[in-house]
Amino acid sequence: MVDFAVALRCARLCQEIYRDFSGLRFSAYPDVEPVFVESQDNGFTDTQVAILNQLNSDRLYIVFRGSDKSIDWISNFQLRQQIYPYADGNSEVKFHQGFMTAYFAVRQALLDAMDKFEGQRVIVTGHSLGGALATIAALDLQYNLGSKHDLSFEVYTFGAPRVGNRAMVESYNGRIPNSDRLIYGWDIVTRVPRTWQGFDHVEKATQLGSRWTWQVLSRRFNDHSLDAYIAGLEAEIEAG
């Protein structure tokens, strides 16, 4: 069952990270100590992520920034799948190559930053493209650091696309059982890349908002807004 209070906090952190990254301080969250990581590929990608250590708590948030451009970004990434490079050579786990490229731009810096934490409850989150990167990062970090540092992982994504093949999904579902993939209304990004292109969704999906509408076409795009997700979560909490 979704912890809507934690999900709402994650959504608001995702909203905060959309601000100017160079001036970002998370001043509205005095209980967190932030570390910022940006792309290390000479501008080829613009991946940005914040690691937020919640003071006087075992919680640690990893917040990936989504694309602040038109959601046309989804069609601009290469759809070719790339083998997950940390398993043995016979692995059938594959990710969307474009998403892997974006993640690899921050991967080593993220691993280095996370290597100092011990026994933390790690909550990984992101909206849109950020949700795709959060999914990849959670599996990568659990695989490489989970047992080493006694880290537990949870994932909350908002409007995230499919990121890998069936083998990837099975690996993810086994390693990250506490994962919630939130979908608002008719959000179009949650429907791409297509299953016929070899992509599947990770578990578990939670629907927010009503899908009843006469305006399916416009809502497919409007429902991708992070504001819509926040409103949907607030409604769930209010309804009790």
Angle formed at CA 54 by CA 48 and CA 55, multiple of 5 degrees:
135
Would you list the domain boundaries of the chain?
A: 4-239
Alpha carbon 167 to its chain's center:
19
Q: Which CATH class is domain 4-239?
A: alpha beta
Q: What are the pLDDT tens digits along the chain (240 aa)?
A: 899 999 999 999 999 998 877 677 788 888 999 999 998 776 678 899 999 999 999 999 999 998 766 554 555 566 677 776 655 567 788 998 889 889 999 999 999 999 999 999 999 999 999 999 999 999 999 999 999 999 999 999 999 999 999 999 999 999 999 999 999 999 999 999 988 988 999 999 999 987 655 455 557 678 999 999 999 999 999 998
Q: Please give the C-alpha separations between residue 138 and each of 89, 209, 226, 229, in angstroms, as whole numbers.
A: 21, 27, 21, 21
Q: What residues are annotated to the active site? A: 128, 187
The three-class DSSP label of residue 184 is strand
- C-alpha dihedral (190, 194, 198, 199), degrees to nearest 10: 0
